[in-house]
Structure formats: structure tokens, C-alpha cells
Amino acid sequence: MEGLELVSFNIISNVGTAKSMVMEAMKESRTGNFKEAELLIEQANQYLVVGEKEHFKVITQEAKEKNVELTLLFMHAEDQLMSTVTLRDIALEMMHMNQMIYELKASI
């Protein structure tokens, strides 16, 4: 395995790990474990950075050479990257809302 295929699998692997961590962060947040949820998001961000760097390699190669043939596998990797970034952003909002709910419940 080499080239675009390897890059695609690197993206999918790292982003998949990040997605799992984001999902776990939402679960922790729902049960009031906000510190753990924040830690999981920080760890997920590290995996997303790796995935984004791999993605950037292909984008810059395409810009320089203008002859990179993108594959279905690479498009899948891009889709996984973009959906996980979106999921992370939504998770952060949900975590904030969960924290507000816990604070409101505590004040009643």
C-alpha cells in the first residue's frame, strides 16, 4: 500500500479514532463527567490534526501537479474527516448545554 491509498487509510484511521472519542465525550457529558469529556475532545483534536495533515498533503500535491487522480477511497476519507469535524463542533455545543442543565438542576 502506498501513495493516495496509504494517505486515505491514515486519514480514515485517525479520524475514526477521533470520532469514537467525540462520541464517548458526549456520553461522559450526558452523565455529568465534564472534565473527562473535555479531555476526550482534546485527545480527539490531536487525531483530527493528524488526519487534516494527511489530507493537506493530497491537496497541496493536487495544487502543485494538477494531475492527482482522486479515488473513491480518498473521497470516503474526506467525508469521514469533514463529518467528524462537524460532529466534534456539535458535541462541544451539546456538552455546554449539558453543563448548563446540570447547573440548573443543582440550583433547584
pLDDT digits over 45-78, tens only? Answer: 999 999 999 999 888 877 777 676 788 999 999 9
Task: List, for residues 88-103, the tens digit of each pLDDT value.
Answer: 999 999 999 999 999 9
Q: Are 5 and 13 in contact (CB under 8 A)?
A: no
Nearest to 7 by CA among 63, 65, 85, 59: 59
Please tell me the predicted confidence (pLDDT) of residue 61: 77
- 3-107 topology per CATH: Methane Monooxygenase Hydroxylase; Chain G, domain 1 (1.20.58)
Q: Is the pTM of this model over 0.85?
A: yes
Q: What percent of the chain has pLDDT over 90?
A: 82
